[in-house]
Amino acid sequence: MTMNGMQGIVPGYLLARLAESERHSHAAHAARQTLIAGRPTFRAALELSIDANGALVAEVTPAPTRTIFDAQNSEKLPGMIVRGEDDVPVADASVNEAFDGLGATFRMLLDAFDRDSLDGAGAALNATVHYGEDYDNAFWDGQRMVFGDGDGEVFRGFTGSISVIGHELGHGVIQSASGLVYQGQSGALNESIADVFGALTEQHLRQQSADEATWLIGEGIFTDAVQGRALRSMLEPGTAYDDDELGKDPQPGHMRDFVRTEEDNGGVHINSGIPNRAFALAAQAIGGNAWESAGLAWYRALSSGLSTTAGFTEFAERTLAAAADIGSSVEEAIRTAWVTVGVIEDARVRESR
């Protein structure tokens, strides 16, 4: 699979830059191997069983059903089962971190949106750890979360970041709720909404208000050798890292800086910074817990029959429609945020012309 086909938390362009590093020779080799390995084919839909009478069978319970597998540094999925829902913690920290991260995401979805797991019908949550040799990524493969261990030189293991886990499981929610095409603006929207789920999962777990949150995605996955805080900053796109070897975070925060490229599936990891900033600005303007206001509007917009090729403008309009049912102050904050990042025009400016 080519670099452009990757849907992991670490963008292909960042791995490509790392692959050329002379300073981090081990990490460069790991990045090259990660790019070559890619990820398994993305499945188009979650699988649910049908009984003998043709009825959909899905167990709906207010608790997750988690299973953690170990690939034992192979690229064969799912691997061997190492911890189930009723099992006690094991000696492997990656297993326990993955287990806890799945649970944190499940609880956020249930508490904030009354959504029972990724598909809304109690789907089991599965994850595989120790995927590949020094694999520099984590991804959702359509059925499960998959975690690499990182190369240890530039990237740490990925199970330690709640925002990474929430992000990748967020792709499962998006897959079920709207099936946004992973290309161009709809792909950038897909990435951005997954970042929203990642940020909300972390904030919900820590019980942080919008003002208390870091708004960083992937904080802590870089080693101390990297000049960077995280993979992305939702509040300040383009500031997450600035490193001699990895380059500078390329995310724009306004439509005037929208990047037109054939790389990265049309810039899905790059241009996601624009709707990311809109969400963070709206959440901070509203105040309180982001999952109760802006997060609810984003979730309802995603679940409102959104077209699979929706761009930023269509989604912005959906969030405003959803916000109207939440409260006028929420609607105004969201409108102002979308205007600030250049996705929609300020009606007052338009009317004055």
Q: From the candidates 97, 168, 191, 202, give the one annotated as an active-site residue.
A: 168
How far is 175 from 253, CA to CA, in rounded Å? 25
How far is 254 from 261, CA to CA, in rounded Å? 16
Give 81's strand partners: 69
Whether 22 is catalytic is no
Tokens 């006690």 correspond to 88
The number of residues in the chain equals: 353
Angle between helices 93-113 and 294-302 (to 10 degrees): 90
Using the 8-state DSSP alphabet, how is residue 42 labeled?
P
Q: Residue 332 in contact with residue 294, Cβ under 8 Å?
A: no
Q: Residue 171 in contact with residue 197, Cβ under 8 Å?
A: no
Neighbours of 293 (CB within 10 A): 23
How far is 162 from 220, CA to CA, in rounded Å? 10
Report the run of H or E that residue 129 belongs to, with start and end.
strand 125-129
Q: HSE of 5 in the Cβ direction (CA atoms, 13 Å)?
A: 12
Q: CA 65 → CA 116, 177, 268, distances in Å? A: 11, 20, 31
Q: From the candidates 130, 167, 204, 269, give the one annotated as an active-site residue.
A: 269
Q: Which amino acid is at 329?
A: S
Whether 345 is catalytic is no
- Sign of the C-alpha dihedral, residues 229, 231, 234, 240? positive
- Residues labelled as active-site residues: 168, 269
